[in-house]
Structure 1
Amino acid sequence: MYELSQVEDSEDRYGYVLCSRLSYILQADVGDESSVDRNEADVVITLQIGDTRVALLVVEMKQELTIRNCDPSLQAGLSMRHVWIDSLKRDIRDRCCCPTFLIAVGGPWLCVLGGVLTDRIIVQRLTDMKWMALSSTEEDARIYHNARLFIALRQCLAELKTYYEGLGSVPPCEANEPHPRYYPYPSSYTSNDGTLVHFDYLETLEEDAACVTYLAQITNQTTSGDVTTDEDAASTKIVVKFVARYGKEVHELLAREGHAPRLRYYGSVSGIPSSGVLPSPAERSPPGLCLRSDLMYMVVMDYVEASSKTPSNARQQISPVLTLLHSNGYVFGDLRGQNVLFDADGNIKFIDFNWCGRYDMNIRDKGLPAGLQKEIDKLRINQDGGPYTRYPLSMSTVTGMWATGMTPLAPIRPCHDWAMLEKISWT
């Protein structure tokens, strides 16, 4: 922090000082590495695997953030690309998504990022731009916080080194075949009876590049005691998705009634259920919202083959499901055609529960079906209270997509579900 507090008139001197400190803190040898197009990153920490040098960390530095109109965080991502497109690294590229840590430095500001290579370079910021200079006589708390950041990075680099050293057991990528390099790293979950179930990803279930829902297949035949469980038998297809919030209670309720696929697992991405209560949303966040960006959960459910035909009574099948939810104090929230399907027998299955949760039954909605409000009034005395679910801040704002009252951060209400039911159009 002392070095970054100084004003250097030479970029070479600035880079030399920073490199020496990073080498000491991260306990790694730093250097540079030329790429096929002769673009060199300022600093690269590499690992030698056979005849190939693998980049673990790429650093881009500027004396000031705005110097030469260049953002060092963007340049770090481009430098990562330059490093990995080398033909000598093809064998490594064919076995993994080339995870790489990036550091962007501009004057006294520093940011840590992470990058992977699938069919494109994907870079995400792991920290914000952090002030690394000394600017006060009372800096103990910030020095401690920054020290924790570098210690964590040092430990992560050691784990990344172990990851690359173990790639020999991973088969290379083959054309038109699913391969781990294109899918998330979690590949197992713990079933309700405590058995560890392994699976392989088969394909994404959406065309969007931001897809977080995958079709997978169980690879091991798990057992419970001495009896093989058919539901976890090898080759069984499942759906795996990753979420920041999820209506687990709603999913389980509808699954018991036959209106949703069986929920096999909901918990940490490690596939191991947490002991006790899952981490709660950030303090002071609006009720029903998850504003903790550090949380991500894995959901595993049965795969249901959708019928190619929509039954003539599709709307009539959804109505009693909504009545069941609302009379029990729950709302669905995102009732669109893409979030329900009909199985081979033509029966309705709700499949997306990200927005689901409880609603305040003490507030009356207009436009509910006859008799539903009476059912709600009977059961509301048993309601425990909030938190009540709300629409996410990031929901689409395309005109005409949602019913009246459906806006970011607004409470999700039963009347919204019924209005969305009327908007669904099946062809």
Structure 2
Amino acid sequence: MPSEQYLTIEQAQKPWLECIRQAPPPSTAAKDSHLKQNQHLGNQAALYNGRPATLTGPPLGVYHPVFARFWRLVEEREDAVLTPEHLRLATELIDKSTEFYGDEKERPMPSDSDVVRTCANGREPDGGPLIDTFAGRIMINPFIEIKKEIGAGSCDPFDQAAANYAQWVGKDKDRLPSIRQRSCMPAFLLAIAGPNLAIGGALLLDRPVIEQLTPWIPLRYRPTVPPRPDSVAPTHDQIQYIARVIVALRKCSDDLLEYYKTTLVSMPERTEFAVPWPHLTKISDYEDRTAQPISVIVKFTYRYCREAHDVFMPKVLRLGSCSAWDETVAQMVVMYEYIDATKVDHTRQQLSWDQSVSQLEDAVKAMHQKGFVHGDLRGPNILLDGNNAPMIIDFDWAGRADSLHTIYPGNICLDSSYKLHTDVCPGGRILPEHDDHLVKKWSHR
């Protein structure tokens, strides 16, 4: 959302808040019929939950590091020491989850302990949140929704947990309006349906962003799945994985609790920005300064080919001068020089259009000679400075031309308005002639 549209966070969230306060209960809001009617781009009440795909929100880790940490713990990128007690509790969870029950209230949970109390304490059958209070503020623990089986009830338990989160953070009591001024309201969602578990994350921008962080995890043994090479049995692998997920949730819930207890309490209200900003504000320990402060644009991307970027001549490309991988967002962080097109003095341009085209062709040729391709040289990724010098941005798809990994994404848009090369296809190799084709199209615009 463009920040100039709104003056404050409160104003940015106002359209959604007005809708959510008129919404039906979560058990109704999560029904297919209600979602079909409300989940579309033109509806202010819609959540950024990826359904449909056009409502996919930004990565949660950009706004709070706890979500990237959860992923690292589950995927063994960060050490989570599993004790015999953890394995016992995971086994107990499997044993209890594979039983059949009359309704959700009959279903027991594993014994109360530091590892699984997140999943057990204060469980309510209709998705009630678990909360603690500290200094008069709200601490949000995971929003839990349990169905006795897949298909039981009238809605998906994950959708219901998301609806419950949305209605909770939209309330005008318990000092929640003040917290919305200070925080993106990060929380975890936990859904259980029979012997299946899913964990998600949620936060609030101009409206809630919901993401399922795990697939539906089977809470049952799968003896056909081969064991890992260093494992004693497939059942042991499954127990370890479930234990690791629970430990990750516990650790990250503790992180959130600390955030709400200390960091959030000390944060001033943010009245000058439209939506919460990314939590990452520093990507280098380098403390030297430019002679004059400059404005930059920070981009978060899963990959960025710095080698291809560095091939371009400095006079042709001044953008993307700083890039680094950051674990707290689990993405590359790239800084671009900000160029305000409204302030370009076209009366002082030093290059003719033909010279601009020639510079761009030379730069792309140099990249190809070094063995790299760009893959996305559409008009929006080719900028002109005040002298009409071309500058290329977005090296997300770029890579070695001879690499089998330099391919177009599976969801590439092939709309005819982009005028892509006819050989471009989802998962297809990015080739130099594809770049040349787009440069030619750009030069004749």
TM-score over 0.5 (shorter chain): yes
What are the equivalent positions in structure 2 for 1:48-87 lying under 5 Å apart?
Answer: 48-87=133-172
How far residue 53 of structure 1 moved from its aligned partner, in angstroms, is 2.9
What are the equivalent positions in structure 2 for 1:385-396 lying under 5 Å apart?
Answer: 386-387=403-404, 389-396=406-413
Query: 1:418 & 1:138 partners in 2: Cα distance?
Result: 51
How far residue 98 of structure 1 moved from its aligned partner, in angstroms, is 0.4
1:26 aligns to what?
116
For the structure 1 residues 395 and 135, does the alpha-carbon distance in structure 2 shift closer, same or farther, using more than 3 Å as the test?
closer
CA deviations on 1:104-139 (whole Å, 9 max, x unpaired) are 110010000000011111111111000113465951
2:267 aligns to what?
170
For the structure 1 residues 155 and 325, does the alpha-carbon distance in structure 2 shift closer, same or farther, using more than 3 Å as the test?
same
2:300 equivalent among 217, 220, 242 = 242
Query: 1:87 & 1:426 partners in 2: Cα distance?
Result: 55
For the structure 1 residues 270 and 73, does the alpha-carbon distance in structure 2 shift closer, same or farther, using more than 3 Å as the test?
closer
Query: 1:130 & 1:27 partners in 2: Cα distance?
Result: 19
Query: 1:55 & 1:304 partners in 2: Cα distance?
Result: 40
% identical equivalent positions:
25
For the structure 1 residues 388 and 255, does the alpha-carbon distance in structure 2 shift closer, same or farther, using more than 3 Å as the test?
farther
2:74 aligns to what?
none
2:77 aligns to what?
none
What are the equivalent positions in structure 2 for 1:86-97 lying under 5 Å apart?
Answer: 86-88=171-173, 89-97=176-184
1:416 aligns to what?
434
How far residue 68 of structure 1 moved from its aligned partner, in angstroms, is 2.5
SS of the equivalent of 1:58 reads: strand
Query: 1:413 & 1:260 partners in 2: Cα distance?
Result: 25
How far residue 185 of structure 1 moved from its aligned partner, in angstroms, is 1.5
1:380 aligns to what?
none
AA aligned opposite 2:186: P
**What is the TM-score with the length of structure 2 in the denominator?**
0.68
AA aligned opposite 1:30: N
How far residue 76 of structure 1 moved from its aligned partner, in angstroms, is 0.8
1:44 equivalent among 129, 132, 141 = 129
What are the equivalent positions in structure 2 for 1:21-420 lying under 5 Å apart?
Answer: 21=111, 25-28=115-118, 30-31=121-122, 41-88=126-173, 89-134=176-221, 139-165=235-261, 166-174=263-271, 177-178=272-273, 182-190=276-284, 194-195=285-286, 222-223=287-288, 229-230=289-290, 235-254=293-312, 256=314, 258-270=316-328, 295-306=330-341, 307=344, 312-313=353-354, 314-360=356-402, 386-387=403-404, 389-401=406-418, 402-420=420-438
Query: 1:426 & 1:21 partners in 2: Cα distance?
Result: 69
Alpha-carbon contact 1:240-1:299 (below 8 Å) kept:
yes
Higher strand share: 1
**What is the TM-score with the length of structure 1 in the denominator?**
0.71
Query: 1:318 & 1:73 partners in 2: Cα distance?
Result: 49
1:289 aligns to what?
none
Query: 2:367 & 2:144 partners in 1: Cα distance?
Result: 52
1:2 aligns to what?
95
Query: 2:130 & 2:122 partners in 1: Cα distance?
Result: 6
AA aligned opposite 2:182: R
SS of the equivalent of 2:189 reads: strand
SS of the equivalent of 1:115 reads: strand
Considering Cα pairs closer than 8 Å and 6+ residues apart, tell me whether 1 or 2 has the greater RCO: 2
Q: Which runs of 4+ in 1 moved over 4 A?
A: 20-24, 134-138, 308-311
For the structure 1 residues 169 and 252, does the alpha-carbon distance in structure 2 shift closer, same or farther, using more than 3 Å as the test?
farther
Gaps of 5+ in 2: 1-93, 224-232
AA aligned opposite 2:138: R
For the structure 1 residues 83 and 163, does the alpha-carbon distance in structure 2 shift closer, same or farther, using more than 3 Å as the test?
same
SS of the equivalent of 1:417 reads: helix
Gaps of 5+ in 1: 34-39, 196-221, 224-228, 272-294, 361-385
SS of the equivalent of 1:2 reads: helix
SS of the equivalent of 2:416 reads: coil
How far residue 148 of structure 1 moved from its aligned partner, in angstroms, is 0.6
Alpha-carbon contact 2:323-2:332 (below 8 Å) kept:
no
For the structure 1 residues 332 and 341, does the alpha-carbon distance in structure 2 shift closer, same or farther, using more than 3 Å as the test?
same
Query: 1:298 & 1:131 partners in 2: Cα distance?
Result: 35
Alpha-carbon contact 1:2-1:134 (below 8 Å) kept:
no
Query: 2:208 & 2:279 partners in 1: Cα distance?
Result: 17
How far residue 94 of structure 1 moved from its aligned partner, in angstroms, is 1.2
SS of the equivalent of 2:426 reads: coil
Query: 1:23 & 1:79 partners in 2: Cα distance?
Result: 25
Query: 1:358 & 1:138 partners in 2: Cα distance?
Result: 39
* Alignment length (residue pairs): 331
AA aligned opposite 2:353: S
Query: 1:359 & 1:411 partners in 2: Cα distance?
Result: 8
